[in-house]
Amino acid sequence: MSRFPLPGLPLFILILSLWGCNPPAEETASSAAAAAPAAGPTAAAMHQARYAAAASEPQNWVNYGGTWKEQRFSTLSAINDQTVGRLGLAWYAELGTLRGVEGTPLVVDGVLYNISAWSVTTAYNAATGEKLWQYDPKVPPEYSRITCCGTVSRGVAAWNGKIIIPALDGRLIAVDAASGSKLWETDTKLPGQPLSITGAPRIANGLVVIGNSGGDVGSRGYMTAYNADTGEKVWRFFIVPGEPGKADGEASDPVMAMAAATWTGEWWKQGGGGNNWDGIAYDPELNLVYFPTGNGSPHHMKFRSPQGGDNLFLCSIVAVDASTGEYRWHYQEVPSEQWDYDCTSQPLLGELTLDGVERKVLMHAPKHAYFYVIDRETGELLSAEHYVPNTNWSSHVDMATGRPVLNNVAYPSSEPVLLSPGFGGGHSWNPMSFNPQTGLVYIPAQETYQVYSVADELNFRLGSSTWAGGRGNPDLRRTLNQQMQDNEKGYLLAWDPVQQREVWRVPHPHSGNGGTLTTAGNLVLQSTIRKTLSIYSADKGELLWEQPIDSVAPGGPITYEVDGRQYIALNAGWNSALVYGLNEGGVPFSYAPARLLVFALDASGVQLPPPPAPAELVAPPATQYPEAQVARGEQLFAGTCQLCHGQNAIGGLKDLRYMTSEVHAEFNSIVLLGTRADKGMPRQETLTEAQADDIHAYLISRAQEDWQGGFMQ
């Protein structure tokens, strides 16, 4: 049994008590069959699965990363390097959306819990795909306006008969795992703050721990823990300091003076940022919660901390007591963060033998292209090396100070430069995995670039982008934009964290590939930008099996077992990540509606519908607009639209250079009246009709610049 019994509950009560009751479903929860058996494990089963790690309950996938160590490693091995060729599609579920779906499903004792766009959560029989219930939190459509990037959710949490749903609009909602009926609800947002939730909550010592998104639109980041049984707030830790002299009355108060000493000016009036919008890990032995933090807000330091400073706790790993939220240690990976190098990708916990000594470590591969190995007991930096080449932002990490040594090109000015890594990073949020048997970490790596400069001023507006990139020297910018697109690449990278070196890689035609899963069957699984699920040998990277899935699965696959049969599941729902060159040969990149796909050995007889035919690319209107109007539109686009539609109007959730004649005709109605709010495009209340005209003129001008007779360059 577990060495970490749940506090306050004798073991015999845990063994005897059921995981949850089955009250009537609310109007937002629909049941597929009234006579369906109650779904969910006993409290003892959940107790074991959560605290004794996956070795005792490998049939379940009870946490975002599989186990508390977030390794995305499974000991199941029926599907292995010898049997993988027998895989077939066992069942699938239509998710009813063309929006991005990034969630990692959970599986608890034969029931699969999945979250889709707009935080809609569904329970399925994990063996057959029968829908047991569905809960729609009814997120208001206007939340897509302040959410970067898309109406996505990365996962739910499971605890003591409950499924904890992180609603995009900032609510945490606990529903009964057996019926989907609501048990409690709490709002995690501070009043007046442009906050949302896109990350997956974690359970730590009976508490639900969650961060918020919003660092791109002027919010102040914090982490909060709630009682998982009641929804009551237990502690909160602010990531950046507030107004000097004003205590928050929270767990972070004792260290806010230390943090404030690293800021200058009046940063608190513009939020500060630092939001944790993705990774969280929990170590039950040390009773520590680790959370990586995000970018500054405003992005460029001169607008938020004009006299410099490290700006704690931006782009850091922070460790706090899981029960109280009290600070234990931090390591700042990017002091003075001003490159949109969010350090929020998930950390992996593990044990590595370094210099003959086994160490409890935290492994991290954030955007700025360093792989970190950190002592998770003390926060001591043990090693840091580039995991992708061709980065010109910095040369190395100084092991004496722990600070990256920046190259001159990294310091922003009004003159554009080509900087690597770009906003997408060497590795973004897409989950990586660690196989203790091979000793390798499997990273969805990429080489990305950005055209980087800073504007002279920022017209700050709460809820709008705080990027404020420069717009000067358009000819040079155009040249650099092309270089940015030409040099981008992606690959699956097998990394040795002890030797800090590449062992093997599998090249992909572009970046934007999905997260990874690794298993005791000597397998690594990844969805690719080629719209496939691909399986490789974990030791050598040899392609063993590949299946078209008609979309890209940005998140990571999982594996589980029901009645002795092993399954693989993943969400295939392309999130339109910032990837260049997808519309190759004049054929636009097309993809199927989002689906949950489940595979098993010797499965047959289930086929996906035919993939959608690609739409025809349409040349942009020939209308020429005054240079002054295009310049105004460029500034407005950067502050209002860029979060979702890409820097310089390239890529994003919807590449607006490819608008059809119908969309051009309806442009102002879509933007100002919200006529396509049902498709995720809410009305922009802050814009006037003249401003919408300016943005439209800029977008047409950008399309004209890039149009090459059948495709965009």
pLDDT band with cut points at 50, 70 and 90 for residue 346: very high
The pLDDT score that the predictor gives to residue 649 is 73
Mean pLDDT confidence for 164-170: 97
Three-state DSSP at 106 gives strand
Mean pLDDT confidence for 130-150: 87
- Distance between CA atoms of 178 and 196, rounded to whole angstroms? 27
Tokens of 300: 């460029």
The pLDDT score that the predictor gives to residue 322 is 96
Query: Is the pLDDT assigned to residue 52 strictly greater than 60?
Result: no
Query: Is the pLDDT assigned to residue 149 strictly greater than 80?
Result: no
Query: Is the pLDDT assigned to residue 6 strictly greater than 70?
Result: no
Mean pLDDT confidence for 369-389: 97
Q: DSSP secondary-structure letter at 672?
A: I
Mean pLDDT confidence for 82-111: 96
Give tens-digit pLDDT for 498-512: 999 999 999 999 999
The pLDDT score that the predictor gives to residue 107 is 96
Mean pLDDT confidence for 153-178: 96
- Distance between CA atoms of 303 and 299, rounded to whole angstroms? 8
- Distance between CA atoms of 706 and 703, rounded to whole angstroms? 5
The pLDDT score that the predictor gives to residue 18 is 28
pLDDT band with cut points at 50, 70 and 90 for residue 48: very low
- Beta sheet of 595-601, edge-to-edge order: 87-94, 595-601, 565-572, 558-562
The pLDDT score that the predictor gives to residue 23 is 35
CA 209 to chain centre: 16
Among the listed ranges 39-43, 390-394, 626-630, 643-647, which one has the minimum average pLDDT value?
39-43
Mean pLDDT confidence for 298-322: 96
Q: How many CB atoms lie within 10 A of CB 679?
A: 14
Q: DSSP secondary-structure letter at 615?
A: P
| Multiple choice CATH, 627-706, 1.10.760.10, 1.20.1260.10, 3.10.20.30, 1.10.10.60 | 1.10.760.10
Residues in contact with 245: Cβ distance below 8 Å, sequence separation at least 6, in sequence order:
none
Query: Phi and psi (nearest 5°) for 436?
Result: -60, -20
- Distance between CA atoms of 48 and 51, rounded to whole angstroms? 5
- Distance between CA atoms of 208 and 202, rounded to whole angstroms? 6
Query: Is the pLDDT assigned to residue 348 strictly greater than 50?
Result: yes
Of residues 595 and 712, which shows the higher confidence score?
Answer: 595
Give tens-digit pLDDT for 222-260: 999 999 999 999 999 999 999 999 999 999 999 999 999
- Distance between CA atoms of 602 and 605, rounded to whole angstroms? 10
Do 667 and 659 meet the contact criterion of CB atoms below 8 Å apart?
Answer: yes
Strands 516-519 and 73-74: parallel
Domain borders along the chain are: 29-596, 627-706
Q: Which residue is associated with the tokens 């791109």? A: 216
Closest of 70, 158, 57 to residue 113, by C-alpha: 158
Of residues 1 and 536, which shows the higher confidence score?
Answer: 536
pLDDT band with cut points at 50, 70 and 90 for residue 37: very low
Among the listed ranges 161-170, 390-399, 464-473, 661-670, which one has the minimum average pLDDT value?
464-473
- Distance between CA atoms of 343 and 368, rounded to whole angstroms? 8
Q: What is the mean pLDDT of the chain?
A: 88
Tokens of 711: 């495709």
- Distance between CA atoms of 331 and 380, rounded to whole angstroms? 8
Among the listed ranges 292-306, 379-393, 686-700, which one has the minimum average pLDDT value?
686-700
Query: Is the pLDDT assigned to residue 615 strictly greater than 80?
Result: no
The pLDDT score that the predictor gives to residue 643 is 66
- For residue 117, give Cα distances in angstroms to 189, 594, 622, 640: 20, 9, 36, 22
The pLDDT score that the predictor gives to residue 21 is 38
Q: Which residue is associated with the tokens 């004009």? A: 306
Q: Which residue is associated with the tokens 């004003």? A: 246
Query: Is the pLDDT assigned to residue 293 strictly greater than 80?
Result: yes
- How far is the first Cα of the chain from the last one, in angstroms, to the nearest whole number? 59
- Distance between CA atoms of 453 and 299, rounded to whole angstroms? 11
Of residues 340 and 42, which shows the higher confidence score?
Answer: 340
Topology adopted by domain 29-596? Methanol Dehydrogenase; Chain A (2.140.10)
Query: Is the pLDDT assigned to residue 463 strictly greater than 90?
Result: no
Q: Count Cβ atoms within 10 A of the Cβ of residue 388 and give its class: 0-12 exposed, 13-18 middle, 19 or more buried.
A: buried
Residues in contact with 708: Cβ distance below 8 Å, sequence separation at least 6, in sequence order:
none
Query: Is the pLDDT assigned to residue 42 strictly greater than 50?
Result: no
Among the listed ranges 287-296, 460-469, 658-667, which one has the minimum average pLDDT value?
460-469
User: Which listed residue (169, 321, 340, 693) is catalytic?
Assistant: 340
Question: Can you say whether the dihedral through the CA atoms of 126, 1, 234, 240 is positive or negative?
Answer: negative
340 annotated active-site: yes
Residues in contact with 596: Cβ distance below 8 Å, sequence separation at least 6, in sequence order:
92, 93, 95, 105, 114, 124, 569, 570, 571, 572
The pLDDT score that the predictor gives to residue 121 is 98
Query: Is the pLDDT assigned to residue 465 strictly greater than 60?
Result: yes
Tokens of 598: 């489940």
Q: What percent of the chain has pLDDT over 90?
A: 67
Mean pLDDT confidence for 400-422: 95
Asked if 29-596 and 627-706 have one fold, the answer is no
Q: Which residue is associated with the tokens 């991290």? A: 364
Give tens-digit pLDDT for 544-600: 999 999 999 999 999 999 999 999 999 999 988 878 878 776 677 888 999 999 999
Of residues 667 and 443, which shows the higher confidence score?
Answer: 443
Query: Is the pLDDT assigned to residue 197 strictly greater than 70?
Result: yes
Among the listed ranges 157-161, 241-245, 516-520, 647-651, which one has the minimum average pLDDT value?
647-651
Mean pLDDT confidence for 465-479: 82
Of residues 45 and 124, which shows the higher confidence score?
Answer: 124
